[in-house]
C-alpha cells in the first residue's frame, strides 16, 4: 500500500512513539496528583506546553489540550458564542470550512445566532479556493462575535491570508478563530504576530498520535472569554476538565518539534515529489485537470494535489487502484455520499466534483513510491477506459 492521504491523517512517527512510551508504562502518575509520580507527569506536560507554545508563537498560558481539532473547533466557536456575557449574535465563516466548523455554526442557529457563510474564489482563478476577502469584509459587522476561517483547506490545500483576516475581524471588534489543522507542522505559523485569537490543531496531521489536539485561547491581543464544553475537575484552567494525558501531550510535542526542525527540508522534498507526481499523471491520463489554487503560487500547501478526471469518478478510480491510499473528499465526510462541499463551493458541478480525487504527499513518502503510485493510477485509468 502506498499511502498518499496525508491530509486525512499521517503515520505516527516512530520517534514520537518512543518519546511517549515511558509516560504510559513507567511515569504513569496522574498529572493532577500531588505525589512525586504526579509531579513528574505534570512537569512533562509543563515542559511540553512551553515547547509547543514557542513553536507556534503563543504563550503557554493560552494552550488547552483537547481530543483533536473537532473538539478544539467546537470549544472555540461554541465557547465564545455561548459565554453568558456574550451579547453579539452573528457568526462569519467560509463555505469551504471543515464540517467541524460549519456544523457547529449551523447548530448555533438554534441558539439564535445568525450565520453568514462567505464564498471562496471560484475555480479557474490561480487563487481558486481562497476566501474572497472583499466578501469577507462585507460580511463582518458590529454584531459579529467570531470570524472562523481555516488556515489551509484539507481538500484543495488553499492557504488563507491570516494577517488580513485578523485585521478585518478586529476592525469590528470580532474575534478571529483559525482552524490551523492542516498548517501546524507544515508551514510556519506565528499566532501572536498574526494576532489570531483562537487557533485549533490536531497532532495526527503532523505525525503525532490520533486523539490529541490543541486550542490556543487568547493568542492575539484581545481577552477571550470561553464557556467550557466539558466541566468536571476543573483541569486546564476550567476550560477542559478531565485528567490530562501526559503521553499524548508529549507525543504531540515531540511530533511538532520534529516537524519544526525538518520543515524546510520536508517542504523541498514534498514539493519535488508533488511535481513529479503531477507531471507523471498529467502525461499519462488524458484530460486530467487540477482543482484548487495554482501549483506555482504561495496559496497552496505543497503536498496537496486535487485532480479532476475527464470521465471516471473518483470512487471508481479508488476501487480500481486499491494499492494506493487516496480519497475523494475528506475522510470525515466519507460516510456522506454527497460530492465534496469544497469543490461545489468553488463552482464545480456535481459531476465534476464526483470525478475528483485528493492526494496528500508527506514526509514519509519517497520518489520510488510516487513513481509506483503514478504507474498504478495510470494503469487503473487505462483499464477502466477499456471497460467504458
Ligand atoms: N479541521 C480540518 C481542517 C481537518 O482537516 C480536520 C481533519 N480532517 C479536522 C478539523 C478534524 O480533526 P480531528 O479529526 O483531529 O478532530
pLDDT in tens, 375-387: 999 999 999 998 8
Q: Name the one residue in this structure whose C-alpha cell is 513513481.
A: 371
Task: List the chain residues with pLDDT less than 70.
Answer: 329-337
pLDDT in tens, 10-68: 999 999 999 999 999 999 999 999 999 999 999 999 999 999 999 999 999 999 999 99
Among 37, 11, 12, residue whose Cα is nearest residue 25 = 37
Give the distance from CA 149 to its chain's centroid. 11
Q: How many CB atoms lie within 10 A of CB 296?
A: 9
Phi and psi angles of residue 189, each rounded to the nearest 5 degrees, phi first: -135, 135
The atom of ligand 1 lying closest to the CA of 210 is: 15
The atom of ligand 1 lying closest to the CA of 153 is: 3
Distance 388 CA to ligand 1 centre (A): 36
Distance 10 CA to ligand 1 centre (A): 12
Cell numbers for 368: 520510488
The per-residue pLDDT for 117 is: 98
Name the residue with the closest Cα to ligand 1, atom 9.
69
Domain annotation for the chain: domains and CATH numbers: 2-8+263-387 (3.90.1150.10), 15-256 (3.40.640.10)
ipTM: 0.99
Q: Which of 10, 70, 206 to mutate to test the pocket of ligand 1 (most atoms within 8 A of CB)?
A: 70
Q: How far apart are CA 112 and CA 114, in angstroms?
A: 7
Pairing of strands 90-94, 114-118: parallel
Q: How many residues does the chain have?
A: 388
Scored b (16 or more CB within 10 A) or e, 366-377 reads: eeebbeebbeeb
Whole-number percent of the chain with pLDDT over 70: 98
Q: How far apart are CA 373 and CA 366, in angstroms?
A: 11
Distance 383 CA to ligand 1 centre (A): 34
- DSSP E strands: which ranges in 150-269? 175-179, 198-202, 213-217
Per the CB < 8 A criterion, the answer to whether 248 and 20 are in contact is: yes
Q: How far apart are CA 301 and CA 336, in angstroms?
A: 25
The atom of ligand 1 lying closest to the CA of 97 is: 3
**Active site members:** 332
Distance 69 CA to ligand 1 centre (A): 5
Pairing of strands 289-291, 304-308: antiparallel
Cα–Cα distances in angstroms (integers) from residue 163 to residues 139, 160, 191, in the given order: 17, 9, 10
Q: Report whether residue 332 contacts ligand 1, using a CB cutoff of 6 Å.
A: yes
Q: Report whether residue 100 contacts ligand 1, using a CB cutoff of 6 Å.
A: yes
Q: What is the DSSP letter of 203?
A: G
Scored b (16 or more CB within 10 A) or e, 249-274 reads: bbbbbbbbbbbbeebeebbebbeebb
Distance 196 CA to ligand 1 centre (A): 19
The per-residue pLDDT for 335 is: 59
Taking each helix axis from N to C terminus, what angle separates 69-81 and 99-108, rounded to the nearest 10 degrees? 30
The atom of ligand 1 lying closest to the CA of 7 is: 5
Q: Report whether residue 333 contacts ligand 1, using a CB cutoff of 6 Å.
A: no
The per-residue pLDDT for 336 is: 55
Name the residue with the closest Cα to ligand 1, atom 5.
154
Q: What is the DSSP string of 29-67?
A: --TTSSSHHHHHHHHHHHHHHHHHHHHHT--GGGEEEES
Per the CB < 8 A criterion, the answer to whether 290 and 306 are in contact is: yes
Q: Report whether residue 150 contacts ligand 1, using a CB cutoff of 6 Å.
A: yes
Amino acid at each position: 500500500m502506498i499511502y498518499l492521504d496525508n491530509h486525512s491523517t499521517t503515520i505516527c512517527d516512530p520517534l514520537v512513539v518512543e518519546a511517549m512510551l515511558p509516560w504510559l508504562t513507567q511515569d504513569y502518575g496522574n498529572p493532577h496528583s500531588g505525589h512525586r509520580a504526579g509531579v513528574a507527569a505534570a512537569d512533562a506536560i509543563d515542559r511540553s506546553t512551553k515547547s509547543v507554545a514557542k513553536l507556534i508563537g503563543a504563550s503557554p498560558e493560552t494552550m488547552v489540550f483537547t481530543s483533536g481539532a473537532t473538539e478544539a473547533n467546537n470549544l472555540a466557536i461554541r465557547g465564545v458564542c455561548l459565554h453568558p456575557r456574550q451579547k453579539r449574535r452573528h457568526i462569519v465563516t467560509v463555505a469551504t470550512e471543515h464540517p467541524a466548523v460549519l456544523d457547529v455554526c449551523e447548530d448555533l442557529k438554534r441558539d439564535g445566532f445568525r450565520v453568514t457563510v462567505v464564498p471562496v474564489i471560484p475555480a479557474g482563478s490561480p487563487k481558486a479556493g481562497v476566501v474572497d476577502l472583499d466578501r469577507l469584509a462585507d460580511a463582518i459587522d458590529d454584531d459579529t462575535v467570531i470570524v472562523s476561517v481555516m488556515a489551509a483547506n484539507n481538500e484543495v490545500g488553499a492557504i488563507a491570508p491570516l494577517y488580513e483576516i485578523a485585521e478585518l475581524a478586529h476592525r469590528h471588534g470580532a474575534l478571529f478563530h483559525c482552524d490551523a489543522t492542516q498548517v501546524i507542522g507544515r508551514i510556519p505559523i506565528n499566532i501572536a504576530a498574526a494576532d489570531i485569537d483562537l487557533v485549533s490543531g490536531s497532532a495526527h496531521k503532523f505525525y503525532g498520535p490520533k486523539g490529541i489536539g490543541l486550542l490556543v485561547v487568547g493568542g492575539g491581543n484581545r481577552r477571550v472569554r470561553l464557556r467550557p464544553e466539558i466541566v468536571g475537575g476543573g483541569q486546564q484552567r476550567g476550560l477542559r476538565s478531565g485528567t490530562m494525558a501526559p503521553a499524548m501531550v508529549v507525543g504531540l510535542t515531540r511530533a511538532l518539534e520534529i516537524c519544526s526542525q525538518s520543515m524546510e527540508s520536508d517542504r523541498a522534498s514534498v514539493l519535488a515529489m508533488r511535481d513529479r507526481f503531477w507531471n507523471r499523471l498529467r502525461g499519462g491520463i488524458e484530460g486530467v485537470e487540477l482543482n484548487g489554487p495554482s501549483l506555482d503560487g504561495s496559496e497552496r500547501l505543497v503536498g496537496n494535489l486535487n485532480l479532476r478526471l475527464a470521465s471516471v469518478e473518483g470512487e471508481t478510480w479508488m476501487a480500481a487502484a486499491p494499492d494506493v491510499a487516496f480519497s475523494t473528499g475528506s475522510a470525515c465526510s466519507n460516510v456522506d455520499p454527497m460530492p465534496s462541499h469544497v469543490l461545489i463551493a468553488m463552482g464545480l458541478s456535481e459531476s465534476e466534483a464526483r470525478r475528483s480525487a485528493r492526494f496528500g504527499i508527506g514526509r514519509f513518502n519517497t520518489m520510488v513510491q510516487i513513481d509506483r503510485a503514478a504507474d498504478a493510477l495510470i494503469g487503473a485509468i487505462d483499464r477502466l477506459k477499456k471497460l467504458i
